[in-house]
Amino acid sequence: PQHKPLAGKRAIVTSGPTHEPIDPVRYIANRSSGKQGHAIAAALARLGAEVTLVSGPVTIADPRGVTVRHVETAEEMRAAVLSCLPADIAVMVAAVADWRVVGTAGQKIKKQPGEPPAPLVLTENPDILKTIGHHEQRPTLVIGFAAETENVEANGRKKLAAKGADLIVANDVSPDTGIMGGDRNRVRLISHGGIEDWPELGKDAVAERLAALIAERLNQGKSD
Ligand code: C5P
């Protein structure tokens, strides 16, 4: 039916940050409220998709009508996403930490009076979007986000190619935009077919429009 254009389609959405432990009480992370990713998961579900939301640690509620898998780290997020394949749609909104700590301490690291802090040794995390974009069970539509503070378009185009995505939703998250943690967003859609600028909208409205665009593209049977 017209109002459930994604009925029978499976979608995976990632949202929120990941936390990469340093020791049992400390971690490194990116800033992310999860608002945009959660809104997209809910919007896809409203169009009839069977949605699994893989969420990092957030303080917002699980959206309605969606299966939620809660994870902490990038490695856990990657495993959860891969376990959801095959799927028709992947929307990777999570702000995954690029690095994790090598040799996470089992006990709280104590300050040593008069000594400098021990350096943190980091290693790269898996790129979940890139893995999905090049996977043998690649979903029909693979969508990434690009939170940038400069050169939004150029970086978005690079990401489209490098990650094997059909669409990159780029936004400027410079501190003066108020986008990070806020309820509004202004995005630029970068696909192989061109660029589309959306006006500033609430994150729910961005989610709604993106879900409609996903339905349109899937039902056209092409990805750009
Ligand atoms: O490279 P960058 O982190 O800017 O790319 C952002 C996009 O890639 C987002 O869609 C994000 O969810 C995804 N990503 C990912 N795994 C990573 C890093 C980013 O899925 N390790």
Average per-residue pLDDT for the chain: 93
From the alpha carbon of 94, which atom of ligand 1 is closest?
Answer: 12
Residue nearest to atom 9 of ligand 1 (CA): 145
Annotated binding-site residue numbers for CTP: 98, 108, 126-129, 145, 159, 163
Q: Which residue type does 166 have?
A: D
The ranges assigned to domains in the chain are 10-101+120-219
Q: What is the 42 CA–ligand 1 centroid distance (Å)?
A: 21
| Claim: this prediction has a pTM higher than 0.90 | yes
Distances (CA, A) of 145 to 25, 97, 122, 157: 30, 14, 24, 11
Please indicate whether residue 184 or residue 46 has the higher confidence score (pLDDT).
46
What is the average pLDDT across 130-147? 97
The finding on whether 146 has its CB within 6 A of some atom of ligand 1 is yes
Cα 37 from Cα 207, distance rounded (Å): 8
Please enumerate in sequence order all residues whose Cβ is within 8 A of that of 84, keeping only pairs 6 or more positions apart, or say none: 10, 12, 52, 54
Task: Give the pLDDT band (50/70/90) at residue 1.
Answer: low
188-206: per-residue pLDDT in tens? 999 999 999 999 999 999 9
Cα 130 to ligand 1 centre (Å): 8
ipTM for the assembly: 0.96
Whether residue 64 is predicted with pLDDT greater than 60 in this model: the reply is yes
Class of domain 10-101+120-219: alpha beta
Q: How many of the other CB atoms lie within 10 Å of CB of 42? A: 21
Residue to probe by mutation, ligand 1, list 20, 127, 148, most atoms within 8 Å of CB = 127
Is the pLDDT assigned to residue 19 strictly greater than 80?
yes
| HEC letters along the chain | CCCCCCCCCEEEEEECECEEEEECCEEEECCCCCHHHHHHHHHHHHCCCEEEEEECCCCCCCCCCCEEEECCCHHHHHHHHHCCCCCCEEEECCECCCEEECCCCCCCCCCCCCCCCCCCCEEECCCHHHHHHCCCCCCCEEEEEEEECCCHHHHHHHHHHHHCCCEEEEEECCHHHCCCCCCEECEEEEECCEEEECCCEEHHHHHHHHHHHHHHHHHHCCCC
Cα–Cα distance for residue pair 92/179, rounded to 1 Å: 18
Residue whose entry in the numeric block shows the structure tokens 């665009």: 213
Average of per-residue pLDDT across 165-169: 97
Q: Write out pLDDT tens, residues 86-137.
A: 999 999 999 999 999 999 989 999 989 999 988 999 999 999 999 999 999 9
Residues noted as catalytic: 30
Higher pLDDT, 175 or 100: 100
94 in contact with ligand 1, CB cutoff 6 A? yes
Smallest CA-to-CA distance from 157 within 126, 194, 211 is with 194
Is the CB–ligand 1 distance for residue 96 below 6 Å?
yes
In the predicted model, is pLDDT for residue 224 greater than 70? no
